[in-house]
Amino acid sequence: MAKIIIDYDKCDACGECADLCPMEILIIVDGKLEVQNPEDCNECEVCMDVCP
């Protein structure tokens, strides 16, 4: 299982990663990025590629 770490000092919750995540495990809640069902991550790293 992938260990997903969000650097909240850098994350502006733009939602790009959530929009592109093929497993739909990233969501924006109250202006903050959250991970739901991290065990479903397929480690494609699309989120890392689009993160500013």
pLDDT of 1 > 80? The answer is no
> Looking at per-residue confidence, does 1 or 30 come out higher?
30
* CA angle, 29 then 19 then 14, to 5°: 55
CATH 2.40.240.10 corresponds to the domain 1-52? no
Residues 7-42: pLDDT tens digits? 999 999 999 999 999 999 999 999 999 999 999 999
